[in-house]
Chains A and B, each alone.
Chain A
Amino acid sequence: MEATLERGNVLEQPPENLEGVPAWFNASRQAGWKRFLELAMPTRRDEEWRFARLKQLDFEGVHLPDPEPPAGHRGAAGLEKRAARFGFINDTLNESEVNLPEGVICLPLDQALAEHGELVAEHFMKSESTLGSAKFTALHQAHLSTGMFIYVPDNVQVADPIEVFHWLSGDHIITFPHTLVVTGRNAQVSVVDYFQSDSTARNAWAIAVNDLVAGPGSQLNYLVLQDLCDQARMIQVNTTTVARDATAKSFILNVGTAWARQESLSRMEGENAHSDMISVSIARDAQEYDQRTFQHHVSPRSYSDLLYKNTLYDESRTVFSGLIQVDEGAHFTDAYQTCRNLMMSETAEANSMPGLEINADQVKCSHGSTAAMIDDEEIFYLRARGIKSQIARQLVAQGFSVEAITRLRNEALEEIVLSFSAREFSRISERVVT
């Protein structure tokens, strides 16, 4: 406890210089801290925080974790076939297993900084955080000490996914998970980030940044499985840049935390760039998921498609704010955005703000947002076949999520997501029965 007190509140603690990293990285930590101090906390007047519950930004007593992490934790079993597996407990590496093709760099960030400093510098936190959490991104930058750096060189395909586990343990601790994935020309890789915790992570925080850089003609899949304990909170800031002929696919599953805010920005920088943004959230109790997205079409003839599906039980609450921006000259853009909310209780609340900003010509853009409950007819149909209404409702809700999950178009990845969502649904239905 004393050690904890010494460290003090994370918001009042300037970062110290790290050893064994390039000078620019320490400078970046200091710059992040300076920026963090300059920026104001979000207020109700900020459009980026409309409908947000600002009281969730509670950092009272929140501090950096002990440098010696608690032992004995291990994340979910994960995939059977994988190219690599890394595990972190409170931002400290505790397991690694690698079976990668030659030339692929897949290292904890601190090690990557020491060995491939210049390559990391080229891609490290290059995009400004514009969707509301700039202050927290700056805090992340200031306190960042490790994470994952994955670089797949030109023409190299990593067949099986790379798994990264981020485990949180201990109350009031804060972690800064970081994932940077870069693919070269025509390269291919899938990365799965797991965010999990034990039940001691009360009032614990994770402020995660993940940047994806998809090089020309490459294919980059990235999954977030967010399964933190119900008392933890999370902010996740994602930036994806998609070069010419590249395809980036990002997927977020939310089943955990008391409150999670996710900002995802996808920038189409070359012709024929293609970005899929998919999310499934299953919210129950008083859980809140606050998601902000931005599909930015810089270059002509690019494509983006977003599908966010929320299933809301109990008193849960979701916010979806999405914007498609088509820059001047980004003609022949195809951009789609859909947010669907399935309301499973009388007290759940769904907010959606699907937006479009079009400054170009010859574009095909559309957005749709719906909120509705399960149709009585669907339940009747299932009951007529002898299925109890309680189970019928769960089946329909599961089917609702599955539509988004199958967009992954990868059996192994779909299976791992389904295992998490099915567990969550059965947890909810068991609870309803008792």
Chain B
Amino acid sequence: MDTGTQEAIDIDRSKGDFSYPESHKFDAGVGLSPATVDYICDVKNDPDWVREFRHKALKTFESKPMPTHWATKDLENIDFDVIRYYLSDGTKPTRSWDEVPDDIKETFERLGIPQQERAFLAGVEAQYDSEAAYSNVKEELEKDGVIFVNSTEGLKEHEEIFRPWFGKVIPTGDNKFSALNSAVFSGGSFIYVPKGLKVRHPLQAYFRINSENFGQFERTLIICDEGSELTYMEGCTAPKFETTTLHSAVVELVAMKDAKLQYITVQNWSSNVFNLVTKRGIAHENAEVRWIDCNIGSRLTMKYPGVVMKGRKARGEVISIALANSGQHQDTGAKMIHAADETTSNVVSKSISVGEGRSTYRGQVHIPKHLKGCRNNTECDALLINSSSRTDTYPAITVRGNQHATQHEASVSQVSAEMLFYMQQRGLSEGAAMSLAVNGFVNDLVREFPMEYSVELKRLIELEMEGSVG
């Protein structure tokens, strides 16, 4: 790849590549043991049931092997003994931007968070290392009964809503990293939207890692009660440290009858972050859960958003875009579990591999016995830019019974020389032609993102692709 392309791709990474000196009041130290868990419980003043939950999860984490029998061996490079599991300045986020400590405020201002809030958001939470530094929700929403707090506050102040769903969508033992998160989770959002309320503007969370060797383990639980609607967006960045950093979140979504819940992620971690995230939603009768996922950063991302369609006519959707550059492996996909009649799911995944980047699609579609009228559509398309780029597809589809229809299609292609020639012949430079072709490839998905994000995405993709053909 020539330097022009390299620079163009690097531009957006540098935006998040800065850090401030650490001055943490609370630091759980290095490594993981029952004492680490107790330390976190003490700082957060967790209720007993949470402490018990964490300790149990730690045991599960320790007993589970790494999933390297199917996943990449790169996971073995994570050294759990050198990671710092909890860092914070206190557990109470402020509600006013002015009270946020200067360095943190500057961090988020450089990332454009308060402007965005003023511009179009209904509420924002900003997490800095282990705890939320800032959390605000528009007053009228609060009056309507919307709860938007961090997970610590959620489990203490709203236990009666929080606890029945917490760990139910994704049980502790779901996988090694969900167990790890369950043991040391901190931060993340808890959102409850009351019956019938349609939240018109999106809520947003922003996750920031500032400290080296730090592991961020946020835990998000969103409940949309009957007939309500919500769009939630999250963004992630971290500076580039010498050593690797671990981000391992658990996100649980619950859409009650007739609710609509849309969860949008734009992940742009720096390229030394292991991003191992478990995300799953439950859709009850006639409800809809949509995951819209964009992975641009990180060293290794393993993320397979899932929807369990539990009620009749529930719908699940995953729309994902991945961009893997040299040194990156985007291992993403979707998991669709049909558990009721007439449920439908749709997966559309597009990946672009640049340089020596590797993108992988892994999917699971499960339609069990004695259900009727379930449908799934899966499409995954991969675009290879350079000759050393790599792409893999590993779907798994189980269908029982004859009342269903599933289809899966995947294709791998290049930007063809003829296509570029055609455009160049009409006066476009090679780079412009390449960027137009790449944009055309993802365009139908980019439109699914909210405007502000789709602009950013387009800019990311409208790269100087000059010389990267072939």
Binding site for B on A (CB under 8 A): 45-47, 50-51, 328, 331, 341, 343-373
Q: Smallest CB–CB gap between A385 and chain B, Å? A: 23
Structural contact, A344 and B402, CB atoms closer than 8 A:
yes
Closest B residue to A326 by beta carbon equals B412
Instruction: Provide the residues of chain B in CB contact with A371, threshold 8 Å.
Output: 397, 399, 404-406
**Docked-complex contact A372 and B406, CB < 8 angstroms:** yes
Q: Which of B69, B397, B470 has the most CB of A within 10 A?
A: B397
Beta-carbon contact of B369 and A354 below 8 Å: no
Q: Which residue of A lies closest to B409 (CB)?
A: A368
Which residue from A328, A351, A367 sits with its C-beta under 8 Å from B410?
A367
Question: A359-B390, A361-B387 are known contacts. Are A352 and B69 too (CB-CB below 8 A)?
Answer: no
- List CB contacts (< 8 Å) of B376-429 with chain A: 382, 384, 386-414
Chain B interface residue number, banded? 35 or more
Interface centre among A341, A345, A359 (most CB of B within 10 A): A359
A369-B412 in contact (CB<8A): no
Given contacts A350-B400, A361-B414, 16 further A-B contacts (CB under 8 A): A328-B388, A341-B399, A349-B398, A349-B400, A349-B401, A352-B396, A355-B392, A357-B391, A361-B386, A363-B412, A366-B411, A367-B409, A369-B395, A371-B397, A372-B406, A372-B407
Looking across the interface, which residue of chain A has its beta carbon closest to that of B70?
A47
Q: Is the CB of A47 within 8 A of B69?
A: yes
| Chain B contact residues, CB within 8 Å of chain A | 69-70, 369-370, 382, 384, 386-414, 470
- Supply 20 A–B pairs (Cβ within 8 Å), ascending by A: A50-B396, A343-B399, A343-B401, A347-B401, A349-B398, A350-B399, A351-B396, A351-B397, A353-B394, A354-B410, A355-B393, A357-B392, A361-B470, A362-B414, A363-B384, A368-B408, A368-B409, A371-B405, A372-B407, A373-B402
Q: Give the shortest distance, in Å, between A349 (CB) and chain B (any CB).
A: 4
Name the CB-closest residue of B to A331.
Answer: B387
Q: With a CB–CB cut-off of 8 A, which chain B residues contact A364? A: 412-413
Q: Which of chain A's residues have a CB closer than 8 A to the CB of B386? A: 361
A26 to B396, CA, bound (A): 42
CA distance A369 to B365 in the complex (A): 12
| Chain A nearest CB, measured from B470 CB (Å) | 7
Taking the nearest CB of chain B, how far is it from the CB of A329, in angstroms? 8
Residues in B with CB closer than 8 Å to A373 are 402-405
CB distance from B72 to the nearest CB of A (A): 12
Residue of A nearest to B385 (CB): A361
B412–A370 CB distance below 8 A = no
Q: Contact check, A358 vs B412: say whether CB atoms are below 8 A apart.
A: yes
**CB-CB nearest in chain A for B376:** A371
Q: Knowing A47-B70, A355-B394 are in contact, say whether A366-B407 is a contact too (CB < 8 A).
A: no
Given contacts A366-B409, A368-B407, whether A343 and B393 have CB atoms under 8 Å apart is no
CA distance A368 to B379 in the complex (A): 9
* Closest residue on chain B to residue A353 by CB atoms: B396
Give the residues in chain B near A350, CB-CB below 8 Å: 397-400
Other-chain contact of B395, A345, A355, A365 (Cβ < 8 Å)? A355
A149 to B303, CA, bound (A): 50
> Which 5 A-B pairs rank lowest in CB-CB distance, beginning with the nearest?
A343-B402, A361-B387, A373-B402, A371-B399, A356-B393
Query: Are the C-beta atoms of B393 and A354 separated by less than 8 Å?
Result: yes
In the complex the two chains form, is B398's CB within 8 Å of A370's CB?
no
CB distance from A370 to the nearest CB of B (A): 5
CB neighbours (8 Å) of A46 from chain B are 69
Contact B408 A356 (CB under 8 A): no
CA distance A348 to B402 in the complex (A): 7
B400 to chain A, nearest CB (A): 4
Q: B408 and A366: CB pair below 8 A?
A: no
**Across the interface, which residues of A come within 8 angstroms of B402, CB to CB?**
343-346, 348, 373
Report yes or no: A352 in contact with B382, Cβ–Cβ below 8 A: no
Q: Bound complex: CA of A363 vs CA of B411, how far in Å? A: 10
Residue of A nearest to B368 (CB): A349
Bound-state Cα–Cα, A68 to B400, Å: 45
Q: Nearest Cβ in chain A — how far from B389, in angstroms?
A: 7
Cross-chain contact B387 with A346 (CB below 8 angstroms): no
Interchain nearest-CB distance for B316 vs A (Å): 18
A364 nearest CB neighbor, chain B only: B413
Contact partners of B391 in chain A: CB under 8 A? 356-358
- A347: chain B residues at CB < 8 Å are 369, 400-401
Question: What is the bound-complex CA distance between A359 and B386, given in angstroms?
Answer: 10
- Docked pose: A321 CA to B401 CA in angstroms: 20
Q: Are B384 and A369 in contact (CB under 8 A)?
A: no
Q: How far is the CB of A48 from chain B (nearest CB, A)?
A: 10
Q: Which residue of B lies closest to A359 (CB)?
A: B390
Q: How far is the CA of A361 from the CA of B353 in the complex (A)?
A: 11
Q: How far is the CB of B49 from chain A (nearest CB, A)?
A: 33
B399 touches which one: A45, A47, A344, A349 (CB < 8 A)?
Answer: A349
Please tell me if the beta carbons of B387 and A365 are within 8 angstroms of each other in the complex.
Answer: no
Tell me which residues across on chain A come within 8 A of B470, comparing CB atoms: 361-362
Bound CA span A51–B398, Å: 9
Identify which of B391, B406, B407, B412 gathers the most chain A CB atoms within 10 Å of its CB.
Answer: B412
Cβ contact within 8 Å between B69 and A361 = no
CB pair A358 B404 closer than 8 Å: no
Contact A361 B389 (CB under 8 A): yes
Distance A369 CA – B410 CA, assembled complex (angstroms): 9
Q: Give the distance to chain B from A255, nearest Cβ to Cβ, in Å.
A: 20
Interface centre among A51, A349, A369 (most CB of B within 10 A): A369
